[in-house]
Amino acid sequence: MPILEAQNMKKHFDGIPAVDGLSFEVEKETITALVGPNGAGKTTFFNIITGFLEPDSGEAFFYSNGSKRDISRLSAHKVARLGIARTFQNIRLFSQMTVLDNLMLASNSRKHENLSAALFSKSHVSRAERENLDRANHYLEFVGLTGKIDSLAENLSHGQRKLVSLARAFCLEPDLLLLDEPTAGVFPETREKIGGLLEKMREMGKTILFIEHDMHFVVDIADKIIVMNAGKKLREGKPEEVIDDPAVIEAYLGKELP
């Protein structure tokens, strides 16, 4: 069963294709890795799916609650409410805010939350706030950062900020998570920890599509790899089928995979 289906997605910048006819499916309750050299179009694809960019052409469908929805031209806000959360390559926490406040902010765009009810009913506000607080605590514990709840984001290490950005995405309780290089620049032990968290999310019925450059990590946790090059899908398949493929190695400048 797919949860996400991209069909012939295209996006140009100043006449130069960044995503150039990309089609693929992501199966429900799996971990799929999107890999490819720098500039392949991976982040641009995420930006299209999550409503940060409009595609020039093509469609993206999201399957949830038995219905199929074209999400390719929805706003970021609407996409989040449907149950798709993302993280950013450059983290994007509010550095002058505490970890808790960063997480509480995310909860406000959660799916199913009825904003007008929240605005017009005081009891609803406090109940919603209480639930947001519980969720923030829960996911902070999940990523092992309970002790940092009152720290300013700017005082965290890089690895801790990566973990908070994951917790923030988890707080949205999405069905589908798009993670843009969740382990970039972290120490090996944090990478292992993040791998464990993603596997737990999959066990909890979540679907994960993540961008990653560390091929050892990808092979360890991904059910499927999609390789992009120059805006196109080069290969897809099980990790062991993909990593020794000569076309894939060639795309990585003919060197051994990173």
Ligand X SMILES: Nc1ncnc2c1ncn2[C@@H]1O[C@H](COP(=O)(O)OP(=O)(O)OP(=O)(O)O)[C@@H](O)[C@H]1O
| Residue 38 burial (C-beta neighbours within 10 Å; 0-12, 13-18, 19+) | exposed
Q: Which residue reads 């031209």 in tokens?
A: 73
Site for ligand X in 100-159 (CB under 6 A): none
Min CB(34)–ligand X separation in Å: 8
Site for ligand X in 1-20 (CB under 6 A): 13, 18
CB nearer Mg ion, residue 19 or residue 145: 19
CB 199 within 8 A of CB 27: no
Structure letter (DSSP) for residue 71: -
Q: Which does 96 bind (CB under 5 to 8 A by kind): ligand X, Mg ion, none?
A: none
- How many CA atoms, within 13 angstroms, populate the side-chain half-sphere of residue 71? 29
Which one among 4, 9, 19, 43 touches Mg ion, defined by CB under 5 A? Answer: 43
Listed ranges 6-14, 41-49, 160-168, 241-249: which one lies at the site for Mg ion (CB under 5 A): 41-49
Q: Which does 18 bind (CB under 5 to 8 A by kind): ligand X, Mg ion, none?
A: ligand X
**β-strands 176-180, 84-87 pairing:** parallel
CB nearer ligand X, residue 20 or residue 175: 20
Instruction: List the x/- string, 70-109, binding to ligand X by CB under 6 A.
Output: -------------------x--------------------
CB 35 within 8 A of CB 212: yes
CB 5 within 8 A of CB 25: yes
CB 145 within 8 A of CB 118: no
What number of other Cβ atoms are within 10 A of residue 70's Cβ? Answer: 12
Q: Which does 182 bind (CB under 5 to 8 A by kind): Mg ion, ligand X, none?
A: none
Min CB(231)–Mg ion separation in Å: 13
Question: Under DSSP, is residue 229 helix (H, G, I), strand (E, B) or coil?
Answer: strand
Q: Which does 239 bind (CB under 5 to 8 A by kind): ligand X, Mg ion, none?
A: none
CB nearer ligand X, residue 9 or residue 82: 9
* Alpha-helical runs (H) found in 50-175: 76-82, 99-107, 115-120, 122-142, 158-171
Site for ligand X in 26-65 (CB under 6 A): 36, 38-44
Question: In Å, what is the CA distance from 96 to each residue of 122, 146, 196?
Answer: 28, 18, 29
CB nearer ligand X, residue 136 or residue 177: 177
Site for Mg ion in 77-96 (CB under 5 A): 89
Listed ranges 34-42, 66-74, 76-84, 167-175: which one lies at the site for Mg ion (CB under 5 A): 34-42
- Which residues contribute to the site for Mg ion (CB under 5 A)? 42-43, 89
- Which residues contribute to the site for ligand X (CB under 6 A)? 13, 18, 36, 38-44, 89
